[in-house]
Structure 1
Amino acid sequence: MESAVNKVVLSGFAGADAEVKNFGSQKLAKVNLAINENYRNSSGEEVKRVQWFNLIFWNAKAELAEAQVKKGTALTIEGRLQTNSYDGADGKKRYAIEIVVGDVVIKEKEKKEMF
């Protein structure tokens, strides 16, 4: 069997300023990334939709996100998918898919206010 690959590349806009937490010597930043999609449905109508992705930045990348990622900042990231589970308020098991960021390009001059 070939070696497995877990890699994702996304380009979009930050939905809010980076949310940062400190865990002793480690720092975590979370950012929601919006990606606008436009397509035509089977009736030929143009459909606009936004896909949201949860990004996770650790340590030095978290510091970069804290300093530079504000709502509307254009980002291109490369990372890996990670699935976490937790118990919801109703007691049911829930799952969240996040992207752990490995590389990031912040396009400071390109911003978008509306999603």
Structure 2
Amino acid sequence: MKKIENSFAVTGFIGKDAEIRSFGTVSVARFSIAVSRADKTGGETSYVSAFIGIEAWRKNEAVDSFDVLKKGELITVVGYFRPEEWTDSKSGEKRDRVIMVAT
């Protein structure tokens, strides 16, 4: 049986300084990275860009690693995908998204 892995590795530039929040003994840094890929159509090459949202959780004694999460820094992020579901408090509609969690 083949193993199915829930993992990613992506390299890009940080879009803006990380937003850092503390919760008791842990902290989370939320930030986005800009990535692009070449799209060759015919003889022309164009670049398609996107911003990807990332979460990084650390114990409070390890939050020094968040110091490098500054706008414009080129980084490689490795992690896993975490699905999230909730009900919108205003509309009552069910919502979902996939969060990319850095490890």
Name the structure 2 match of 1:14. 14
1:39 equivalent to 2:67? Answer no
Name the structure 1 match of 2:101. 100
Name the structure 2 match of 1:80. 80
Structure 1, unaligned runs of 5 or more: 103-115
Of 86-95 and 67-76, the range deviating more from structure 2: 86-95
Give the Cα–Cα distance (whole angstroms) in 2 for the partners of residues 46 and 87 of structure 1.
Answer: 42
The residue type paired with residue 84 of structure 1 is E
* Aligned counterparts, 1:59-74, within 5 A: 59-60=58-59, 62-65=63-66, 67-74=67-74
SS of residue matched to 1:12: strand
Maintained 8 Å contact 1:86/1:95 = yes
TM-score by length of 1: 0.74
SS of residue matched to 2:38: strand
Q: How many correspondences in the alignment?
A: 100
Of 20-29 and 52-61, the range deviating more from structure 2: 52-61
Structure 2, unaligned runs of 5 or more: none
TM-score by length of 2: 0.81
Q: CA RMSD, aligned part only?
A: 2.0
SS of residue matched to 1:78: strand
Distance apart, 1:5 and its partner CA: 1.3
The residue type paired with residue 96 of structure 2 is Y
Identity %: 24
